[in-house]
Structure 1
Amino acid sequence: MPLTRIFSEAFGVLTICLVALLILLGLLCIGYTFYLRSHALGQGFNQLSYFSGPWIIRITFVLFTIWWGFGEILRLNFLRREGRVFNELDFKWQENVCRCYIVSNLGFAEPCLFLTLVFLLRAPLQNVDTGILSQKWNGKTAGCVLLFCLPFFVLQLFLILIGPELHKVERELPPYFTRVATPGMQNSDDIALCTYPFLNTILLGLFATVLTAYLLWLGRRVLKLVINKGLQKRVYTLIFSVSTFLPLRVILLGLSVFSKPEQFLFEALAFSSFIVQLCCAAICIVILVYCPVADCLALGNLTDLEARRRVVLVDHNDTASLFANRGHLEESVATSLERSSDASTKRGSISFRTFVRDETSAEAFVELSLFSPSRDGSPPASSSLVGWPMRSPARHAHGQGN
């Protein structure tokens, strides 16, 4: 059933809006990454260099995502309506735009996107000195991504270029195997509506199969090294997203060849494949770019953290002494009252809380002046525990320990 113009316009506008949000997310993550480099590490936090080491590759990952988003906008029929960008071009040039889209997105942006993801995921498995702490790691990784993507890019380009010639040799081959665009009529003007050649989709499916298998194996190795439950959830989410969304996108693109542009089935399948890839890219950006930078910045000033840690340890020791002394008192309070005359000559140190039996029934701290051997010559009034409040001696020594 032909798709009405309202549905076509809605798919186009929604695609542009979602791509704009994805680009905004990517730009925010890039700015967040630069903030980490300039603000945090610029103040001498060299301990964070391990977490910020792959910052160039993270930015490259975001740039590949933005590239893919722009390509998805170029394929829209929305831009080929009367009075819009590509409507002024003749059919041949519009068809060339569709060819460029196939080579750019299916042959370069998407493979580079997932190859970069693999290199970021396997970074913790590498040697520390030659891995992400190495100054050359980012350059080597970028070179490896482009090198591994090159054969796939060449194959996609080859299928696009030989498509017309292939039909001359194999006339029984269905047109949708190599068709990159199909003509559409609007106000008696020919427009080229982009399609997905089945051979190019099959090639993308082979890439997705190999990548998914390797990613599952790689994720299993990474999970063995992760001891934090939060990081385990991130790795599981990443692996599940890529291994599910990427094959699903290939299946949707493959099913789209059985219908034509400007039909509801084709537009629904194409838009669904776009949504699948968009969700996968957004999840990967959040897990691989935003979360590591946020965790790194959350560490804050390590010097202040260390100072605060020491203060907390001191307070903890004082509090532990308080509860230890109080617990010791509770165990011996019955016998202490019976032997109060003898206890004054023994050596030690006990502090506890009592209630003063006077008119106000006020609560006070009482120090039992029982000194350690190192304080033989110290007067009784000088004995007090570090961090404890100095209180005036109680007028009545009778009380009950809490």
Structure 2
Amino acid sequence: MLFMTASPSPLLHSVFDITTVTFISSLIILSVLSLCFIFHLRFKSKSLPYLQNFNSLWTVRFLLVLFIFLWSVVELLRLPFFRRRYLYQYIPSLAAYQQANLCKLSVALSLGFFEPAYLVTLLFLLNASIRKKTPNDAWAITFVFFTCVPLLLLHGLLVFYNPFDNQVPLLLRQTSVLLENDTVLCTYPFLNSLVFAAFGAAYCAWFLFSCWRVLSLVINKGLRLRIYGLASVVLVALPVQVVALVFTVLWNPEDDVYGAVSLVVFLTAFCCAVTGEGILVIKPISDALDAGGHSCRLTSRCQETPPPPPPPERKMEKRDSVVDLEGVLLRG
């Protein structure tokens, strides 16, 4: 639903939009860099046997980066500044109802699929680090989609076929606002925010439990710092995002305060995405490549040199599952 309202402060809203575009651009660049790391390790592991074990989770890491990239694109489509400046150069100006449908689609895809998908993929990578056997790629994909598709269907039902049209005030279910200059502002419907809040609460509890299990096994100081950093960002940013989403209902979408709160919603999700790519994609692959380089400077030399004798059993017993844990955390 759309309703006419006065034009907001153009300067301040442009600042919010430009800030969001800047952060999204940096996230897209980071995602492309992460993909380069993933495929570089993928191709290099074919010629270096020492890297093959580190490459077992490359599909899951690829999914993580892909979901973050697609979430970034959807967030771009929400911005009137981006639609006017870039989208209308290739697509004729969209009618108001078409822009409204684009806002509905962005809510369903952003809150209902892409952001939950990259959060669940991040959680899957964390849980994989405490398994002695690396999970199958097909199981990872099934786990993510079976978790997120029902959430997507629920969000899509609320924005496209809302069964509470007559019972819920328009302010609590609107997905967009039409300004006097035919500009459409995308909003966060309150009902969809509540659904995402329920997901966020369940996710934080699961994530906290997984972090506790991982930290109970990690003995490497560097790995512990990485897990602490990942946990701190996710367990702070996600609740702040949920609170900001719910509090958007207190202001009209054309108010400057609403634009600031919406920016907080984006920045918290942005922090989770950047931290996930840095700690679970770029850093592990960098460590794997470095470990492979120290183990074997030249491929031919590795093939000619016989493997070292296995260590005594009593030394291996001291490390048992910790070896598996650190190996998985370093896999690319």
CA-to-aligned-CA distance 1:48-80 (integer Å, 9 cap, x gap): 333221111111101100111111111112245
| TM-score normalised by L of structure 2 | 0.83
| Match of residue 117 from structure 2 | 112
Counting only pairs closer than 5 Å after superposition, residues 206-355 of structure 1 correspond to structure 2 as: 206-299=198-291, 300-303=293-296
Query: Which residue in 2 is equivalent to 1:56?
Result: 59
- Which structure's relative contact order is higher, taking Cα pairs within 8 Å and 6+ residues apart? 2
**What whole-Å deviation, never above 9, does each CA across 1:321-372 have from its counterpart, x for those lacking one?**
xxxxxxxxxxxxxxxxxxxxxxxxxxxxxxxxxxxxxxxxxxxxxxxxxxxx
Give yes or no for the alignment of 1:93 onto 2:86: no
How far did residue 304 of structure 1 move? 5.1
How far does residue 303 in structure 1 lie from its aligned partner after superposition?
4.0
**How many residues align structurally?**
293
Percentage of identical aligned residues? 31
CA shift for structure 1 position 293: 0.2
Q: Give the superposition deviation at 1:174.
A: 2.4
Matched, 1:7 2:6: no
Structure-2 separation of matches of 1:94 and 1:79:
13
Which residue pairs with 1:144 in the alignment?
143
Structure 2: distance between partners of 1:54 and 1:29? 14
Which of the numbers 153, 164, 167 marks the counterpart of 1:166? 164
Q: Say if 2:7 and 2:179, in contact at 8 Å, map to a contact too.
A: no
Relative to total residues, which structure has the larger helix share, 1 or 2? Answer: 2
2:51 pairs with 1:44? no
Spell out, residue by residue over 1:249-288, the C-alpha distance to the aligned partner (whole angstroms, 9 max, x if none): 1111111122122311110000111111111210110000
Name structure 2 gaps, 5 residues minimum: 1-5, 306-332
Consecutive unaligned residues of structure 1, counting only runs of 5 or more, are 311-402
> Partner of 1:286: helix, strand, or coil?
helix
CA distance in 1, matches of 2:200, 2:121: 14
Residues 1:76 and 2:74 are matched in the alignment: no
Alignment partner, residue 200 of structure 1:
192
> Secondary structure of the equivalent of 1:183?
strand
Larger radius of gyration: 1
Contact 1:80 1:191 in 2 (8 A): no
Instruction: Calculate the TM-score normalised by the size of structure 1.
Output: 0.69
Answer whether contact 1:33 1:293 (CA < 8 A) is retained. Answer: yes
Please list, as runs of the form range in 1=range in 2, the aligned pairs for 1:169-184 lying within 5 A after superposition. 170=167, 173-184=168-179
The letter of the residue matching 2:268 is: V
Q: Which amino acid aligns with 1:156?
A: H
CA RMSD in angstroms comes to: 2.3
Instruction: Look up the SS of the partner of 2:183 in the other structure.
Output: strand
SS in 1 for 2:252: coil
Offset of 1:35 from its aligned partner? 1.1
Cα distance in structure 1, aligned partners of 2:29 and 2:185: 28
Contact 2:80–2:183 (8 Å) recurs in 1:
no
